[in-house]
Amino acid sequence: MPWDVKDTMNRREDFVREAATQAVAFSELCSKFKITRQTGYKWLARHKAEGIHGLADRSRRPHHSPTRSAGHIEARVIELRRQHGWGGRKIARRLRDLGETGIPAPATITEILRRHGLIDEHASRQRQHWQRRCQVAGPVT
């Protein structure tokens, strides 16, 4: 006998359909579908506002990132990396020496470089591996 397989959208449609009949108390209906009442109200409001398409999953990505580095700083970081091949710490120091304001931390600069594909992840992991091995082994005498 095949399993009764339903995807998320079908379950949400069923929930909205049953909620419209009002045959069962709302809290019982939410328990039946194993959701919170808050989620149930959210689905009903979305269905009322947008129809069936309102029940689809939405992106969790924020609309605004107030702490994100400014565009001109990112451009300057990329420019310095391409000119000199420096990493996050050296780029941060150079920007400070040039009198730039709003300079991100070296780790953030490294993330900017990663995001733009300017750091080879494989080479970076190999370097970290060898650095850890050298620390464990200690200096050669």
Q: What is the mean pLDDT of the chain?
A: 88
Where do we find the tokens 């999953």? 57
Give me 15's structure tokens: 């929930």
pLDDT of residue 75: 95
What pLDDT digit, counting tens, does each position of 59-109 carry?
998 888 888 888 999 999 999 999 999 999 999 999 999 999 889 999 999
Distances (CA, A) of 32 to 25, 40, 53, 68, 91: 11, 11, 23, 42, 57
Backbone angles phi, psi at 119, to 5 degrees: -125, 130
| 45, pLDDT greater than 90 | yes
User: Nearest 5°: CA angle at 14, between 10 and 17?
Assistant: 135
pLDDT of residue 105: 94
Backbone angles phi, psi at 114, to 5 degrees: -65, -45
